[in-house]
Amino acid sequence: MQTGTLKQILLITDGCSNHGEDPVAMAALAKEQGISVNVIGVMENDVIDDQGMREIEQIASQGGGVSQVVYAKKLSQTVQMVTRQAMTQTLQGVVNQELKQILGSSSSMEDLPPEKRGEIMEVVDDLNETVNLEVLILVDTSASMKHKLPTVKEALLDLSLSLNARLGNNLFSLFIFPGKKNDVEKLLDWSPRLETLTSAFSKLTPGGMTPTGPAIKEAISYFRKKRSIRGLLSRHDDEFYEESI
């Protein structure tokens, strides 16, 4: 089975977008290009209003991802859980697609007897462990996020710890929105570890609008750019897939 690399955008925010393109539309655009969008809403003393909640859920559901709204102190556990769940979800989608081809259009994993389901689940588990993963993290740095940023940083380090325990390779990159000059600013280029972000993160000065839509749009193009550059270097990756599948 051919799966390629899993691509995810992880959006961490604490409220509604108020600038630029519709983020739900941008999430749909990402999904069309094989990138799933996960959203985590962080609260501290504030609560996210209905409109913000709805937007968070809609972005994730349009983006084929997972969403969760949590208090800051639960952020670490949630970030890694959401990422893993989204991986399973995507891989299961791939497996379901294959099943449909084999068994006919109406079949999905749920229609199979439990024993068969168990066998398929083992395949999904194996893929989950070995597949390569690219996560582009988008952090909302509007004014209200200021106090939450240290927690966000910790959660991201924790994410790196969880994912790097897998057998598959990981690449992370980190963007913030709004940036100093533009809607979006890159803090960390594709890197297998998130530990390097520590210094960059503490220099941030949150403030300004919340251009969630433009941020997602920019994130998508960053995946594409990278792919074309990496085309030259991808020999190593191909070998890896042959081994693991």
Partner 1 sequence: MMMNSMKNPFNIPNGTVIKGKWHLQSYTIVKELGRGANGVVYLADWNKKRVAIKVSDNNVTITSEMNVLKSFSKAQGVTLGPSLLDVDDWVLGNKTIPFYVMEFIEGVHFLAFIQQKGKSWVDIFILQLLADLEKLHEQGWVFGDLKPDNLIVTGPPIKIRCIDVGGVTLQGRAIKEFTEFYDRGYWGLGSRKAEPSFDLFAVAMIMINTYYPQRFPKQQDGLSLLRQKIEAIPELRKHEQVLLRALTGKYATAIQMREDLLDSISKSSLRNQSRALKQKTTVSPTPNKKRTVKQIQPSTKKRPRKHSGIKETIIIFMVVCFLYVLYIYQQI
Site of interaction with partner 1 (CB under 8 A): 57, 60-61, 66-68, 76-77, 82, 84-86, 88-89, 92, 109-110, 113-115, 117-118, 121-122, 124-125, 129, 158, 161-167
* Gap between the Cα atoms of 13 and 43, Å rounded: 9
Residue 63 beta carbon to partner 1: minimum distance, rounded to whole angstroms: 11
Closest to partner 1 by CB, 118 or 207: 118
Residue 15 beta carbon to partner 1: minimum distance, rounded to whole angstroms: 18
Whether a cis peptide bond, with omega within 30° of 0, leads into 178 is: yes
* Gap between the Cα atoms of 199 and 161, Å rounded: 18
38 within 8 A of 67, measured Cβ to Cβ: yes
Closest to partner 1 by CB, 77 or 101: 77
Closest to partner 1 by CB, 66 or 138: 66
Residue 224 beta carbon to partner 1: minimum distance, rounded to whole angstroms: 26
Residue 35 beta carbon to partner 1: minimum distance, rounded to whole angstroms: 17
* Gap between the Cα atoms of 240 and 121, Å rounded: 22
Closest to partner 1 by CB, 18 or 77: 77
Beta bridge partners of 70: 42
32 within 8 A of 62, measured Cβ to Cβ: no
201 within 8 A of 139, measured Cβ to Cβ: no
